[in-house]
Amino acid sequence: MLLPFAEKAFIDDLKLTGYCLSETHITGKHKARVFKATLGITAADYLILKEAIITAVLLNDAIYSGRNQQGDLYTVDFMMAHKTKRTNVRTAWICLFGESFPRLVSCYVKE
């Protein structure tokens, strides 16, 4: 099963640049370090990661993770390649109640 409304998936650029790929964010810096070490991707390369995620949700199955007070939660895992490197990436999504599109919550290298 694909992510519900995958074709409308929303990825806030700041989620990537200010969190997942930020080397200074209090919790994101750990994700950023691993993205840099495994794929050579930094915040300057966020569009490469964004494109990979957008493509991945259209091609890979989503796993329903449950529900919280805000909406339904999903994960989508995929293999990402950049230059000569490859690794597994996990993306986390929420479909907020009352909305008809998923929002990226987080992404990280899944080892």
Residue 82 in domain: yes
User: Would 58 be classed as within a structural domain?
Assistant: yes
Q: Rg of the chain over CA atoms, in angstroms?
A: 13
Tokens found for residue 19: 């969190």
34-81 pLDDT, tens digit per residue, is 999 999 999 999 999 999 999 999 999 999 999 999 999 999 999 999
- The answer to whether the beta carbons of residues 90 and 62 sit under 8 Å apart is no
Tally of domains in the chain: 1
Give 111's pLDDT tier (boundaries 50, 70, 90): confident
pTM of the entire structure? Answer: 0.95
User: What integer pLDDT is reported at residue 36 of this predicted model?
Assistant: 97
Contact 106/12 with Cβ under 8 angstroms? no
Residue 99 included in any domain: yes
What the block records as the tokens of 51 is 């494109």
CA 70 to chain centre: 19
Provide the token pair at 38: 């495994």
Answer yes or no: is 1 within a domain: no
**Whether the Cβ atoms of residue 72 and residue 63 lie closer than 8 Å to each other:** no
Per-residue pLDDT at 75: 98
- Parent domain of 100: 6-109
